[in-house]
Amino acid sequence: MNLPLPDVPEVRAVGLPRLTRGFDLAARLDVRTHLTAHGPLEPMAGERLARLAEEISLRGRGGAGFPFARKLRAVADSAIRRGVRPVVVVNGSEGEPACRKDTVLLNRAPHLILDGALLAAEALGARTLVVVVTRDSTEISLRAALAERGLSDRRGRPLRARVVRTPERLVSGEAAAVVRAVNGGPALPPGRRARASDAGVGGAPTLLSNAETFAQLAIAARVGPHRYGTAGVPSEPGTVLLTLSGAVARPVVVEVPTGVPLRYVLQLAGAPPYPQGVLTGGYHGGWIDSAAVHASVVSRESLAGAGGSLGAGAISPIGQETCPLGEALRVANWLAAETAGQCGPCKLGLPAAAGGLADVIGGGGPAALEALREVTGAVRGRGACKHPDGSARFLTSTLAAFTDDLAAHVLHGGCGRETAGVLPLPGPAETAGPAAGEERVLVDWTLCQGHGLCADIVPELIRINPDGYPSVADAVVPAHLRGRARRAVRRCPALAMRIERTAGPVPGNDRSELRVPRRKELDGGRG
């Protein structure tokens, strides 16, 4: 089974390195080594910087791919119209288990990211810079980088800069959740759509973009648009950072020019020559099959044409030996547990979709498949944030990419293969902060009598199968469901359920497990 990815995997480059230039000089480029590798950087006026971003077709590298020039101009226009100073935010959140590209940059080349962020801050006249991170290693690296430049959050400075730590969760990396966290609230989407360029941090117009995006801006400002475009395809010039995991020899982050054949990048990471499928763009992305892999190149347009996505740059192949639907179910359960719990499509729909996929895999037949398609369609486009849409996209892509395997499960009850668990998911070692002390619901099938009360109490985690017995999602119990999950355990007439904690102490309780008393204990010890 695949282990969680390390913070800083091995790094390689295809062709001449740009973002990873100087990585052969040191494990982490301090400010002096950074300047040795990249040279100085001159400031730019706002419109000139926006034109540069347009000329290199710079889009956000966090997954959404929004044009950076449009975002820059929107913030500038809003700041001028309102007469307030804007804020610049570097989104270094990387709660995607299959992504490490931003973490690599934050750990090894923090000054390249700061170059781009400070360039934008100078162009906009911003006086506040915030870098948002999720891991110990990235926080340490960025705090050291700010100190090396003499930047701090003390009053009276021309530019106040600080680092903000958020939980390592998928939903915490969404732009609205980042702004909310910087403002002192929980790192969760607020449930309403608002543009940071109008009102972000402290209500000020905010330029918020991904860590790699700012690093790309710093590279382009140094070399100019013509030289920047000598690498990659004309429509998407430059290089991209990819994280390769799954069925590979070892996880690796690769800097590669756009236009390079995808099969070459997979070969570089030691992937199978004919993978059963490749998940592109991460767990909100899409699958492409083996035939499409050999026809695709690394670019947004090419991957989208094959049914995939460049997204946040995660590329995860799986081999022929594993059940692809089983692999998808592991991810679907994790996505359901990542819910912010703030809207029905996320709170109810995603666990129901994961349960529906489990029904299909378990031999539920055409009825189970139709139910899965129905719940997935009901989730799409109705969430308060983008998490339900991305999760629905992943499930829809799974059903479209593995039709042979799907037919085997629907028509014959299974494909005959075990689930190898090659797609990376967080493990107990990665659990920290509010996520410490994971809880899972377990059922003792020797006691369960199929009463179904548990499914009535917490339908987000427990569903009743066609055989009348509960199906429990193999997922961590989200914080907002813990109360009802414990109530379901207490209400079970057969005493067949329990909650186990996989890490960390129970708040207000030093036991590692919430144990259900045996019948003998409840009967006062009578035999």
- Residue 466 pLDDT class (50, 70, 90 cuts): low
Q: For residues 279 and 318, give the distance between their C-alpha atoms in angstroms, rounded to a whole number.
A: 8
Helices 31-38 and 211-228 pack at an angle, to 10 degrees, of 20
- Residue 464 pLDDT class (50, 70, 90 cuts): confident
Q: Is the dihedral of CA 444, 449, 450, 451 positive or negative?
A: negative
Q: For residues 115 and 200, give the distance between their C-alpha atoms in angstroms, rounded to a whole number.
A: 22
Pairing of strands 160-165, 128-133: parallel
Q: Report residue 204: phi and psi, to 5°.
A: -85, 155
In the chain, list all ranges with CATH 1.20.1440.
333-412
DSSP alpha helices (H): ranges in 159-234? 175-182, 211-228
The separation between the first and the last C-alpha atoms of the chain, rounded to the nearest angstrom, is: 44
Backbone dihedral region of 371: left (phi > 0), alpha (psi from -120 to 50 degrees) or beta?
Answer: alpha
Backbone dihedral region of 514: left (phi > 0), alpha (psi from -120 to 50 degrees) or beta?
Answer: beta
Give me the half-sphere count of Cα atoms (radius 13 Å) on the Cβ side of residue 190: 16
Per-residue model confidence (pLDDT) at position 513:
33
CATH class held by domain 231-318: alpha beta
Six-digit token string for 374:
């129905």
Block residue for tokens 């035999």:
527
Contact (CB, 8 A) for 306 and 283 = no
3-state secondary structure (DSSP) of residue 206 = strand
- Rounded mean pLDDT, 397-402: 94
Pairing of strands 314-318, 232-233: unpaired
Q: Which residues contact 201 (CB under 8 A, 6 or more apart)?
A: 87, 89, 128, 130, 179, 182, 183
In the chain, list all ranges with CATH 3.30.70.20.
435-522
Other C-beta atoms closer than 10 Å to the C-beta of 425 total: 18
Q: Which residues of 382-391 are buried (b: 16+ CB within 10 A; e: fewer)?
A: ebbbbbbbbb
In the chain, list all ranges with CATH 3.10.20.600.
231-318
List C-alpha distances in Å: 37 to 12, 31, 32. 17, 10, 9
Q: For residues 401 and 412, give the distance between their C-alpha atoms in angstroms, rounded to a whole number.
A: 19
- Rounded mean pLDDT, 125-133: 97
Percent of the chain past pLDDT 90, that is, above it, reads 62
In tens, the pLDDT along 70-115 reads 999 999 999 999 999 999 999 999 988 999 999 999 999 999 999 9
In tens, the pLDDT along 4-44 reads 889 999 999 999 999 999 999 999 999 999 999 999 999 99
Other C-beta atoms closer than 10 Å to the C-beta of 163 total: 20
Percent of the chain past pLDDT 70, that is, above it, reads 90
Q: Which residues contact 302 (CB under 8 A, 6 or more apart)?
A: 262, 296
Q: Is the pLDDT of residue 427 over 80?
A: no
Contact (CB, 8 A) for 219 and 16 = no
Block residue for tokens 């400002």:
221
Q: Is the pLDDT of residue 515 over 70?
A: no
In the CATH scheme, what is the code of domain 17-226? 3.40.50.11540
In the chain, list all ranges with CATH 3.40.50.11540.
17-226
Q: Is the pLDDT of residue 247 over 60?
A: yes
Q: For residues 157 and 334, give the distance between their C-alpha atoms in angstroms, rounded to a whole number.
A: 43
In tens, the pLDDT along 165-213 reads 998 888 889 999 999 999 999 888 887 777 889 999 999 999 999 999 9
CATH class held by domain 333-412: mainly alpha
Contact (CB, 8 A) for 22 and 29 = yes
- Residue 506 pLDDT class (50, 70, 90 cuts): very low
Q: For residues 181 and 93, give the distance between their C-alpha atoms in angstroms, rounded to a whole number.
A: 11
Q: Which residues of 34-70 are buried (b: 16+ CB within 10 A; e: fewer)?
A: beebbeebeebebeebbebbbbbbbbbbbbebeebbe
Among 85-94, 155-164, 241-250, 455-464, name the one with the lowest average pLDDT: 455-464
CATH class held by domain 435-522: alpha beta
In tens, the pLDDT along 306-357 reads 999 999 999 999 999 999 999 999 999 999 888 777 777 777 788 888 888 9
Per-residue model confidence (pLDDT) at position 259:
96
Six-digit token string for 20:
């990873």
Q: For residues 245 and 266, give the distance between their C-alpha atoms in angstroms, rounded to a whole number.
A: 10
Q: Which of 237, 5, 179, 36 is nearest to 102 (CA)?
A: 5
Q: Is the pLDDT of residue 142 over 60?
A: yes
Q: How does DSSP classify residue 171? A: G
